[in-house]
Chains A and B, each alone.
Chain A
Amino acid sequence: MTSIDVQDLTKEYGATRAVDRLTFSVAPGRVTGFLGPNGAGKSTTMRLVLGLDRPTSGTATLGGRPYTTFDEPLRHVGSLLDAQAAHGSRTARDHLRALAASNRIPEPRVDEVLEEAGLASVARRRVKTYSLGMRQRLGIAAALLGDPPVVLLDEPSNGLDPEGIIWIRELMRGLAREGRTVLVSSHLMNETASFADHLVVLGRGRLLADMPMREFIHARVQPRVRVRTTDGAALRDVLARHGYDAVEGEGDGDGERWIVHHARVADIGRLTSAAGVPILELAAEEGTLEQAYLDLTASAAEFSAQSPSQCPSPTQPQEA
């Protein structure tokens, strides 16, 4: 089993620190979502892991080895960094053949991955005739070429159509089920929520969170209950008596919608039923990854606006 281990990784470009003493591990058997706003250092971290950029300090290893020590790296790690990387004048098949040859991957495998990526029928067309979604599929085919136990994908759903997004989601989940290590960067929250088991969140090159996705959401977003009633006043009264704060939402003529913060359906249901408030609808609102993420970045922004000693960040107690 191969994990990705990033240890105290730092990368400076001149005066800017793109990656700041980053330490985390990506475990096999699950999809790890790599989140952060643009410029947070996700792509830089991936390039550092792949030995393409040199770290200012720190290490990144795969199964304990730096990427550059692999003899035939495509058999160990598959990566998609940039969908535009294939030369436009080459056919998709020739692009993959050249890659396969360098790592002594047998040629039939090229046709296999093209088939898997849904590009078999256009494999002999020049890449410049491809849409962004097709290029993205070609990049994913290249990542799968060596049947690697570790897969790194940078924004793989960019440009994919709805069908493609479902395909990549199922593919990544399938790879994780097979016991592979899958690290997928994204800045799309709903998208990431649909495939990630675990999250690594970056902000300004620093680690903001490294935990299971469910835990991340539950720790940051309080549960809410949505209630629809014909008697809003009665509802508010009964809830207020029990210390709940009900806020009126948008009504659509068919009853009034209310949102109860910090509440669970079981409690609210029992209370309203005992008080005889007529209920048309009662539903739990699960926190979304987006809400949790925004909560995290808001607190991170607050932190960076203050001095480090006043407000320590979750992982980095002091500025270097």
Chain B
Amino acid sequence: MPFAPVLHSEWIKIRTLRSLVAGLCAILVVTAAFSALAALDTDGTDFDPLFSALFGVSFGQTAAIAFGALAVSSEFQGGALRVSLAAVPHRGRWYAAKATVVGVAVLGVGLLTGCVSLAVGKAVLGDKGSGLSWGEGLRGAVGCGIYLALMALFAAGLTALLRSGVATLSILVPFLLLVSFVIGDLSGSVADFLPDKAGQVVLHETSEGALGPWTGLAVTACWTAAALLAGAWSVRRRDA
């Protein structure tokens, strides 16, 4: 069975659900809006123009996670998975197509989000943002796209494992909003290797911890790969 028709089918499923399209838009809007707000407040000793301009990612990632979770959890409602797997009985292929579509969609929106946030952030920062080089800006925007895509896929894999979007979101959202903020200040510890902390290094102009921008994303990618593999195991092993 060729892969392209399955990809096409999964893409139709994404763009024909209003909640999923709204989720993608929310990534852009929320990130840009919070980035603009953060750029207004430039006081403080550790001011980082790049992170100021991309600060909204901390909030936009919630939308990315919700998107990833919803895209998969819509298959676990009312026997939808049976219809999907009756059409594509090769479960690995079906799951790979689902993950590809989720990842590519969020990557695209994430790259755009990075560029827009950066532009908005720089405009709000004015002179204070002039220290930011094009190279750093580009790295931040690309990193933003990759990071958001990885987080969406992390949620997608977890949802496939737990078979529930609610369960996934009630784990991930509190984790990102609370745990990470609370222990996030403990820099230089294992907290640096949490999926969100590690991946967000790329959004900073300078990195202090053990991880650099790309190694940080690699750590997040490992978390995502683990979640996706666990989800794949669940999809392949369990009865639909």
Contact = CB atoms under 8 A, between A and B. Distances in A.
Contacts of A50: 82, 86, 89
B78 A85 contact: yes
Interface of B is mostly: helix
A101 interface: yes
Interface string A191-205: 000000000000000
B9 interface: yes
A54 B80 CA distance: 18
A101 B16 contact: no
A82 B79 contact: yes
Contacts of A84: 78-79
B89 A87 contact: no
Contact of A104 (B5, B74, B80): B5
A216 B118 CA distance: 76
B82 A99 contact: no
Contacts of B10: 98
Contact of B16 (A51, A67, A81, A98): A98
Nearest to A48: B239
B1 interface: yes
A74 interface: yes
B12 A98 contact: yes
Contacts of A104: 5
Contact of B19 (A70, A77, A89): A89
Given A47-B240, A98-B9, A67 B18 contact: no
A37 B8 CA distance: 40
Interface residues of A, number: 34
Interface in A11-28: none
Interface string B60-102: 0000000000000010011110110111111000000000000
A95 B74 CA distance: 12
Contact of A86 (B5, B8, B80): B80
Given A82-B78, A85-B78, A99 B89 contact: no
A68 interface: yes
Contact of B17 (A70, A74, A89, A97): A89
A86 B88 contact: no
A68 B240 CA distance: 13
Given A52-B239, A52-B240, A85-B80, A91 B87 contact: no
Contacts of A72: 1
Nearest to B74: A87
Contacts of B9: 98-99, 101-102
A229 B102 CA distance: 77
Contact of B89 (A73, A85, A95, A142): A73
Contact of A99 (B74, B87, B90): B87
Given A51-B89, A81-B79, A82-B79, A87 B240 contact: no
A91 B16 contact: yes
Given A70-B89, A84-B78, A101 B8 contact: yes
- Which interface class (under 10, 10 to 19, 20 to 34, 35 or more) fits B? 20 to 34
B239 A54 contact: yes
A94 interface: yes
A87 B80 contact: yes
A90 B89 contact: no
Contact of B83 (A51, A86, A94): A86
Contacts of B83: 81, 85-86, 99, 142
The 8 closest A-B pairs by CB, nearest first: A102-B9, A82-B79, A94-B16, A84-B78, A53-B239, A101-B9, A52-B240, A85-B79
Given A72-B1, A85-B78, A97-B16, 19 more contacts: A47-B82, A50-B86, A51-B89, A52-B85, A52-B240, A53-B239, A71-B1, A74-B86, A82-B78, A85-B79, A87-B17, A89-B17, A91-B16, A95-B16, A99-B87, A101-B5, A102-B88, A103-B87, A104-B5
27 contacts: A47-B82, A47-B240, A50-B82, A50-B89, A51-B89, A52-B82, A53-B240, A70-B89, A71-B1, A73-B89, A77-B86, A79-B86, A82-B82, A84-B79, A85-B78, A85-B79, A85-B83, A86-B83, A89-B17, A90-B13, A90-B17, A98-B13, A99-B9, A101-B8, A102-B6, A102-B8, A102-B9
